[in-house]
Every structure is written in C-alpha cells, then in structure tokens.
Structure 1
Amino acid sequence: MLRPSPLVDQAAQHLREEIAAGRYPVGTKLPGETTLAQTLGVGRSTVREALRALAGAGLLQARQGAGVFVIATEAAEEWSARLRRAAVADVYEVRMLVEVQAARLAAERRRPADLEALKAALADRRAASAGDDAAFVDADIALHAAVVAAARNPVLTDLFAEFVPALRQGLIDLVDLLKLRAGDANHGDASHAGLVTAIEKFDREAASRIVQEELATTLRALQKLSPPPSRLSAHDG
C-alpha cells in the first residue's frame, strides 16, 4: 500500500516501475481502475490521474471501449528537453515555419490591443539598442512574441514560448560573433518596423515575406558557422 501523499505521484511512479520491470509488457491491457485502486490502496480518482500522467508521458494509451494499454516501457523525452539538446540552426528552421504563418495570421486577426502591443514592443526594441547584446536580443524576441500573440492562436503562442529558451543564448552569441551591431546598434530596425506596418495594414503577404526574409538571413548566418561553435548549441540556452 502506498503512503498517503502525494498519492497521484506515487501511484504513477509505482505503475511506471511495474511497466519498466516487465510486469506489463508493451501491448498489455492494464487492469481496470477498480482493481488498480485496490492493489495500490488508493481511490479510483487517484488511479485515473496517475494513468492520465503516464499517458501524457507516452507510456499508456486509452482506447475507447477497450481499456488502457501499455505502448512503451520508457517515457518519451519532453519537448523542452529535446529543444535544449538541439542545434540552434535546427530549432531556427522550425521557428521559421511557425513565425511565417503566425505573421500571416496576425495580419488577418490583429486587434487594436495587439497593434498597441506591437508598437510598444518595437519602441522597446529601439530603446534596447542602447544596451548590451543580451538586452537587445531579449527585446527582439519580445517583439516577435507580440507578433505571434497577435495571431490569436494559443497553440502557436505556447509553441513559440517553448522555442525561446533554446534560441536566446545562441542568438546572443551570434550577434557577438558576427558583430551584427557593430555598424548599427539597432540592427534590423527597418524590417521590424515594416513588419509592424504590414500587420497594421492587414497585409498578409508583406508580413509573412518580411518575417521569412529576416529569419532566413539569420538562419544562413547560423549555418555558415560550420562547424558551429559549441556555445551556439541550444543546450546552452
């Protein structure tokens, strides 16, 4: 019988260990909630939450009308951990796919509040040009986040938020290595201002094109660093 608290975590861990030990091989149907509750000495609601957690980890799958089945013996790697291990250029390629579409949607769906946020973020980016590379990159990311938010798709917003930790340090290093701000502390201001204007004017084609061109330029710079310095690994973010 499990200790009283935290019951859900303990129940999930116990089942995880049983699966890893081979008691429930891949393809096996787990006993019903009532049986598991009796075995573990907890309530059915606790078992239900534990099963949900293991399903989220990629170990179990509930099949309508059939029960809960084991589909893996090891938990799937979390998305955030996978991003941290990835090379910045690889993450950047996916970022491009997300942001180009986000810019198009933003130009379709933006509301007055979104436009205010975009203009404020552009002003903050300009102000940050007087600071160090880290502050400038942070302000740049914040502007891009405002564009994604204006697309009004919570999945896109969450996905972009996952990318940020994997990109931030790599971009700071890139700005430093390539001396991108040496001749212009506010590097890329014209394109970012053009992006905000395109979204304000509901110009989908211009918004997506500007983001595509800007991110493609940065991606090419990342790819030219071959082999890329280890400090440009997303793991450092």
Structure 2
Amino acid sequence: MWRMVESITSQRFHEFPGVDGWRVISTGAATYFPTGSFAKGVELVTRIGELADAANHHPDVDLRYPGVQVRLQTHEVKEQGWMLSERDAALAAQITDAAHALGIEPDPSRVQALQIAIDALDIAKLRPFWAVVLGYELVGDEDVTDPAAFGPNVWFQQMDAPRPQRNRIHVDLYVPADVAPQRVEAALAAGGSVVRDNGPNWWTLADPEGNEVDVAPWPDGFSGW
C-alpha cells in the first residue's frame, strides 16, 4: 500500500541540519564517503543497513574499494520516478553521523549522475529498440531505465525536424551546483568549446570534434522526477 508522503524541494532538503555533505542531483540526494579501505567501507555499509531497516527507508549503496556512494530517494507516492521527502533528509543526517563515528567524512564533490539523451522524431518507435538492446525497462513516455540501477538512464528528446548536420545523441551530466562551473572550466581547458551557455542552469559543451555534453546542476526548486 502506498503511503502519503509530502515531497520537499532540493532547496528544502539542503536546509535540513546534518546534510551539508549531501547534494541533490538527477538521481536523488547523494554523497560519497572516501573510506580508504574495503573493510572500512563494509563497516559503513553495515551501519547504513541498520539505520535503513530501523527507518524502513532504504537507500541505494555502491561499495567499492576506495569508497562508498549513497543515494536516497522516496518512491511511496510516485509509481514512476522519485521524489524527495523529509525521510531522505533525516536518514542522510543519520548516515553522516554514522560515518563520522567511523572517522569518515563525506565528499560531495565526487557526486554526479550520467544520462544518455537521444533526439528522436518518433520517440515511441525508438524506445522499444533501446530498451531491449540495453536490457532496460520502459519508464514513463520518454525514458528507458536499467532495472538494476547500474547503467545510465536513457532519455528521448522530441525533435521537430531532422538535423543531419548535428549529433543526435549526447550525454547529460548532472553534478552539484558548486562543482558545475569548475567542471566546465576544466573541460574548456582540455580543448572543449561552449555550444550554448545557459549558465548557471546548464552549459552545452563540445569536444574538439563536435560531440556534445550538457553539464547541469539540479534545480533548487525541484522535488523529484
């Protein structure tokens, strides 16, 4: 049974105490904990599991040798997509405290989410192909998503007319707002160019051969997807 949970905006999430080390991006509220060892990462994941079970609210956790990435979302109200709620903020603060007790501090500058965007004249015709070839699922009217949440989301953007002289596939990169300008500057220093400057909302960059990437922070007023 779905329980009614009130959504909160990205800005409201960041105003909660104890979540300074977290950032809201396109995949939810997330942070990265540099543990320095696999054993320390296992300790942290074990503690996160205990907190999650106690709260009956379960994050996505990615354990690797050098660190642990944690992502929080609320799904109770939306059968498709996600939203932010006070439950996410409360659990984020508890996870931060648990990490601090283990001598681990969050590094939100490592947080990012990758999405592949495909410009399409007929979205309904293209989506089934990409879903089956990637082993993904159809979600909503514009996306195909990895059911295991390992691969990047694929989003289809409606085209009004063919564009034979321009790429039809580009990468969307969502990063924290305090990271985006530095990431853009680094890309330009590495040989990139600005195709469209809509900063601070997003920047469309191109590599030296014209392949494009949109670099964007997550809007403060957005509460989910």
TM-score (norm 2): 0.26
TM-score (norm 1): 0.25
| Greater percentage in strand | 2
| Greater percentage in helix | 1
